[in-house]
């Protein structure tokens, strides 16, 4: 589950970066991308997204079993925000997504 979380998180911030670029908004790093996406109202819960960054970094760079258990418990709480953002982006960029399909 943690590996899937990391993969979903990576895809999300890179997708947000790409959509921001489409809107002529430059952002290069995960925190910057999330901050700009929040500023344009694409994200509702900036604090949760920033916690996702923190959790992703912890699991990618440490092997602490207790930390992994804590993050595992938080991942479920991230799901509604991830789904809401996915649905929003799918709607906002339907024209781009259908062109690429």
Q: In CATH, what number is assigned to the domain containing residue 14?
A: 1.20.120.330
pLDDT higher than threshold 70 for residue 100: no
Query: Mean pLDDT of all residues in the chain?
Result: 92
Q: Is residue 98 part of a domain?
A: no
Q: What is the pLDDT of residues 32-41, one digit of tens each?
A: 999 999 999 9
Q: Does a structural domain hold residue 100?
A: no
Could you give the CA distance from residue 34 to residue 50 in angstroms, rounded to a whole number? 8
**Residue 56: C-alpha distances to residues 34, 75, 90, 98, 100 (Å):** 14, 10, 24, 30, 29
Domain interval for residue 70: 2-90
Q: Please determine, for residue 101, whether its predicted confidence score (pLDDT) is greater than 60.
A: no
The pair of three-digit structure tokens given for residue 84, joined into one six-digit string: 């809401």
Would you say residue 20 lies in a domain?
yes
**How far is 33 from 25, CA to CA, in rounded Å?**
9
User: pTM value?
Assistant: 0.88
**Percent of the chain whose pLDDT exceeds 90:** 75
């Amino acid at each position: 589950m943690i590996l899937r979380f990391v993969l979903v998180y990576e895809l999300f911030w890179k997708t947000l970066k790409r959509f921001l670029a489409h809107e002529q908004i430059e952002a290069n790093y995960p925190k910057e991308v999330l901050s700009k996406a929040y500023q344009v109202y694409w994200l509702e819960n900036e604090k949760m997204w920033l916690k996702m960054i923190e959790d992703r970094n912890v699991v990618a760079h440490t092997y602490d079993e207790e930390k992994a258990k804590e993050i595992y418990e938080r991942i479920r709480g991230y799901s509604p925000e991830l789904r809401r953002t996915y649905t929003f982006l799918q709607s906002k960029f339907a024209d781009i997504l259908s062109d690429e399909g």
